[in-house]
Amino acid sequence: MRIGLSDMVVKPLGVGAMAWSKSPRWGYGADLGAKDVRVAFQVSLEAGLTFFDTAEIYGRGQSERILGRLANNHTDGIYIATKYAPMPWHFTASAIKKALNNSLQRLGREQIDLYQIHFPMSWAKIESLMDVLADAVEAGKIRYVGVSNYSSDQMRRANDALGKHGLPLVSNQVEYSLIKRGPESDGLLAACQEMDICLMAYSPLGRGVLTGKYGPGKGPSDLRRFYGQFRGKYLASVMPLVKALEEIGENHGDKTAAQVALNWLARKPGVFPIPGAKNETQARENAAAICWNLDQEEVERLDNLSAIFL
């Protein structure tokens, strides 16, 4: 697939590097380490997954540094995306330029393939942000511009602002999964498809809920335990969907629930899931999620079971 109106042609699945750091907030876990991440990166590449997404705030820059070290040993055909966070102390034109230069340094690159605004903030005018990023494209520091967590209206404003510079908005990265189907009900998916903007789906496995690993009375022990989707009543409501994912997976040669959930997303026009992969097992499982296809009856079954999450 092509990432929006860019020249980046990729397999219909990317790799999220949020957990590629040693930070307690974002870290890859006490039982994992740098070697696991390195193998996950290599396995992903061998499977043809060439798009890697990170952000300046992931591990306070550690994720960018780790990804940069890994990617710079394989410079051909790899696309790197990162994000700038417009915080109250960090949103002027000079701050954006400084943040971009810092990301370039951490990544060890002269140019970033896709530079994204991480989230909208009232104090950071969308048009002003796009003007600064357009200048960065002209300066050769970034190739394409994207946004994240933008509504349809905010996305259109960003696209219009870039259009005045002769540039397209390439992507909008939002949470989207079988249990987070908001992009369908609020019109964002339709708007992305209309405007040829790639909808990058983060947390495509519902932060782990759709893997079948969790259930009522059996949640994660890390910070995710405070998220609403890990409350007992909510988890109970997801179990029929998880059971269907497992049954469908069995019918396709013992595919996992996670692979079925990713396949459901990857089938949608213009949607690009970017699941995390912090070890070899996850990387191999993710890559194998797009080597087959759900049939229409299975898609409809999942659509119906997850309709409560629209």
Burial of 32 (0-12, 13-18, 19+ CB in 10 A): middle
The span from the CA of 262 to the CA of 264, in Å, is 5
Strand order in the sheet with 112-117: 15-16, 51-53, 79-84, 112-117, 142-148, 169-175, 198-202, 271-273
**Cβ pair 161, 147 in contact under 8 A:** no
Catalytic residue among 58, 115, 144, 150: 58
Name the maximum alpha-carbon separation found in the chain: 55
The span from the CA of 193 to the CA of 196, in Å, is 5
Would you state the structure tokens that stand for residue 256, as one six-digit string?
């996992």
Amino acid at 91: F
- 115 noted as active-site residue: no
How many CB atoms are closer than 10 A to CB 291?
11
Residues 105, 107, 111, 114: is their CA dihedral positive or negative?
Answer: negative
31, 83, 126, 189, 228 from 58: Cα distances, Å: 19, 10, 23, 26, 22
Amino acid at 33: G
**Cβ pair 9, 195 in contact under 8 A:** no
**Cβ pair 241, 247 in contact under 8 A:** no
- Calculate Rg over the CA atoms of the chain: 19
Catalytic residue numbers read: 58
